[in-house]
Structure 1
Amino acid sequence: MDAIITNSFGIVGATHIKKIDWDKAEHRRCIVACILKGTSVHANKEYNWLAPAWWKSFHFELYKELKEDDQFMFGAIYRYKPPASEPRHPSAPDYVFAFRGTMLTHARPCLDLYHNCKVVTNDLRNCRHFHRAVNEINGIVKTGTDVSVWLAGHSLGASFALDVGRHMMIKMDRNLPTYLFNPPQVSMAPVIKLLGFSNKIKNVLYEWSCKWKYALGNTKELRCHSERMEELFRKLSPWQPQLYVHEEDIVCQGFIDYFEQRERLFDRYPNITSLATMLSCRDMISCLIGEDKEQPHLLPSARLWKVKKQSHSEDAHGLKQWWMTNIELGWLSCELEPEHGKLYKWNRK
């Protein structure tokens, strides 16, 4: 019974949205989060009869499941079908590509764990799921330049959406609106948080790391890599994915520290920070062993929506929080602008 309640849109979903305003960031976030929840419910054969309400409530239909020959569903494509009596809103998407998070209760959880390992090694693009998603998007966007495609993902699914969005921007120059909920970031941030270091010590560590990466990036062995990263960052800069993070979630803590520390350090060391924040230890090691990555795992630009610890009692890494209202998330009383998030841009020269 508890599982039915937690998977039922009518009981725990975003039922507060009676009339959709696609120009409102809060509505877009809640709707996309519900579609992602529906994708996870649909992937669970025991409760998939509850799934349609999560997308049909907002006038979407299931267009296609994303899975391979092994029938392992890692996401789905939804098509927006507003009622005939309502004019189509220009800000609404035509399609939403939704990538679900890790499901240990799935029939084959080892595949999710395998892809989580690929996130750690920044190698998620070298898997069939990534190529399947890219091929599906290419097939849709080729039908017309005015077709609006949104990308969305939670946790592991956010990593898929992130890599697909980067690929489309770098290779196709297609700037796709992207919604990332609790996106994983591999960095020293979770260790710093778990060890309980003070902000002063944390700032010193990030400052040291920034200067160290700057020095390495200017060495003969890594200069070409630095130039390549700068070229990729310039290509990616117009793309501004929406990152929804909770300050108590160690999975996405790396993104919080990356952008906030980058902002702080840029004010003190603009030239050093501009180069250092394009580089990561993983990418530099890959370069040194002859496996230079086709795209970075870091982001030049993003809108960061951060929830504070005291805002609510829901799971910090859970999806449920993201279809709550702005007031419930505490965004009307903090520094974050409730309808714009905080925009971070690379290289503010």
Structure 2
Amino acid sequence: MACKRKSFKVDGPLHLTRVDWSNSSHRSSVAACLVEGVYSREEERQQCCHGGDSGGALASSAWWESFGFQLNQVLIDDKDKSIFGAVYELKLWSQAQAQAQAQVEVGKPQPPKLVIAFRGTLIEKRSWLQDFRLDRHIVQNTLHNSNRFLDGL
């Protein structure tokens, strides 16, 4: 089964070799890539668990590793076992490094230490029912009662 998700090597912002955290377009591109990483991980999970070939290293990792992040935690729905989010950490972040850089570049936005990314609704065999149930929570303004909200919190 071929991957339906986007490939970082084809669709990723390859021109963005160095992130300027003061540039809102750069921040938006990185955020979009981290979310795409969640979508890709869920697709890889579905393919691997249901007859697909994972092919060794996960292709989804390019969506976060390209910007110096590592995957710290995968958020998994208890009901359908789908991946709905991820916690990323900047690899080389340290308090001393951040303080030193902040002193040099006062007022310039610093890279985030942690990023929590959530995917949206997927219309895939293994996750659509739970995703639509959660969409109903949004419409009814009861998302705070959902298991994904509590896990994300």
Question: Normalising by structure 1, what TM-score?
Answer: 0.35
Pick aligned residue for 1:115 from 116, 122, 134 = 134
Q: Which one scores higher on RCO, CA 8 angstroms, separation ≥ 6?
A: 2
- For structure 2, which runs of at least 5 residues remain unmatched after alignment? 49-53, 103-109
The separation in 2 between residues aligned to 1:63 and 1:35, in whole angstroms, is 12
1:54 and 2:63 are equivalent in the alignment? yes
Match of 2:149 in 1: 130
- Secondary structure at the aligned position of 1:104 is classed as coil
What amino acid is aligned across from residue 117 of structure 1 in structure 2?
R
1:74–1:7: structure 2 CA closer, same or farther, 3 Å change rule? same
Q: What's the CA shift for 1:36?
A: 0.4
Cα distance in structure 2, aligned partners of 1:124 and 1:34: 25
Partner of 1:94: 113
Q: What is the CA distance between 1:106 and its match in structure 2?
A: 4.8
Matched, 1:69 2:78: yes
Q: Which residue number in structure 2 is paired with residue 178 of structure 1?
A: none
Correspondence for 2:12: 13
- Report the CA distance shift for 1:37/1:17 in structure 2 as closer, same or farther (over 3 A): same
| In structure 1, C-alpha distance between the alignment counterparts of 2:82 and 2:37, rounded to whole Å | 16
Equivalent residues of 2:38, 2:118 under 8 A apart: yes
C-alpha spacing 1:28/1:11, structure 2 compared with 1 (3 Å): same
Distance 1:106 1:97 in 2: 25
- 2:36 alignment counterpart: 37
Matches within 5 A, 1:182-193: none
Q: Higher Cα Rg: structure 1 or 2?
A: 1
For residue 8 of structure 1, report the CA deviation from its aligned partner. 1.2
The answer to whether structure 1 residue 78 and structure 2 residue 52 are counterparts is no
Instruction: Give the deviation of 1:7 after TM superposition.
Output: 2.2
TM-score by length of 2: 0.76
Matched-pair contact (CA < 8 Å) for 1:34–1:55: yes
Superposed CA offset, 1:82-115 (max 9, x none): 389xx55651111111010111115131000000
Secondary structure of the 2:145 match is coil
Partner of 2:105: none
Per the alignment, in what secondary structure is the counterpart of residue 86 of structure 2? strand
- Percent of residue pairs identical: 30
